[in-house]
Amino acid sequence: MQLIRGEELVFYSSSEEILSRVESICQQFSIRMRPVLQALEHLPAWSLADRLVQCCGAMQLDQWQKPRSFGGEKGVIHYWRDYKGAGPDAFRAMHAVWLSKLALVAEQASQVEHERLAWMDSTVARFQGLRSNWRFRVANEHPQKFSHYGSDMRRFGRLLPLNASYISGPRLQWPAFQNLFSEKAELATQMPYGNDEETILSEVIREQPHWFQCIGMPYKRLTGRQLMKARLKDGLMAVYPKVHP
């Protein structure tokens, strides 16, 4: 919450109790919260999530023995951890949230006047000390591009270009972003693979790379001078948080 102190937050939850608790926390950080009670089955991507869960199950990876490690491969992780582990119903609920994030932000684009809008998962709390430039609030974001962090996950063995825990972009461009995402998501329903919003977004980035700006990388993807420079900047920002090195 410290990272968004003093900002406006639209918070979605299917639980009134959680909304009340989060609202209390927001008051401690001078965050203007707008709570939205949203049932999972009413999320924009509820139907899409069901179809993609079925695509994941069609992989039938349990015909062979479960591997000891998944190598960061998205489809394999979703199959064993989410489809077989949590179960199709729980996986669909998680999937619906992941796949709805762009639509929910795009919906806000016509309701607010801010120049930029951002999606932020609670998982951004894990960024500290694990990736470069993790203080997104003071990142040097391009005013006409969507800002995001890099990923250490893979699809078909290749590193994904984006971690979708934080995406920030020009308010008026979110609807176009969502439309292209929807097109790629529909194509994903035709393949027997455990796609999610990040694998689909990788196709969006491949088609429109000029829309995007990567503002930070997992430290494990950096080496040598790049790693040293990133850690030095992180240290300086801890001392001088309002300075852009």
The closest of 53, 158, 58 to 95, measured between CA atoms, is: 53
Query: How far apart are the C-alpha atoms of 153 and 71, rounded to whole Å?
Result: 8
pLDDT > 90? residue 19: yes
**Percent of the chain scored above 90 by pLDDT?**
77
Q: Which residue has the tokens 């040293």?
A: 228
Q: What is the pLDDT of residue 88?
A: 98
pLDDT digits (tens, 9 = 90+) for 29-75: 999 999 999 999 999 999 999 999 999 999 999 999 999 999 999 99
Q: What is the pLDDT of residue 244?
A: 40
| 18-27 contact pairs (CB < 8 A, 24+) | 25/1, 26/1
Q: Are 239 and 212 in contact (CB under 8 A)?
A: no
Q: Is the pLDDT of residue 245 over 70?
A: no
pTM for this predicted structure: 0.91
CA distance 87 to 79: 10
CB-based contacts of 217, cutoff 8 Å, min separation 6: 131, 132, 149, 150, 230
Percentage of the chain modeled with pLDDT above 70: 96
Instruction: Give the tens place of pLDDT for each residue, 117-161.
Output: 999 988 887 787 788 888 888 788 899 999 999 999 999 999 999
Average of per-residue pLDDT across 175-199: 98
Q: Is 87 left (phi over 0), alpha (psi -120 to 50) or beta?
A: left
3-state DSSP of 64-101: CCCCCCCCCEHHHHHHHHHHHHHCHHHHHHHHHHHHHH
For 197, residues 6+ apart whose C-beta sits below 8 A from its C-beta are 98, 99, 101, 102, 164, 181
| Residues 30, 34, 37, 38, CA torsion sign | negative
| Residue from 159, 154, 153, 162 nearest 181 by CA | 162
Closest by CA position to 19, among listed 40, 8, 34, 32 = 34
Residue 216 pLDDT greater than 80, yes or no: yes
Residue located via tokens 């801890």: 238
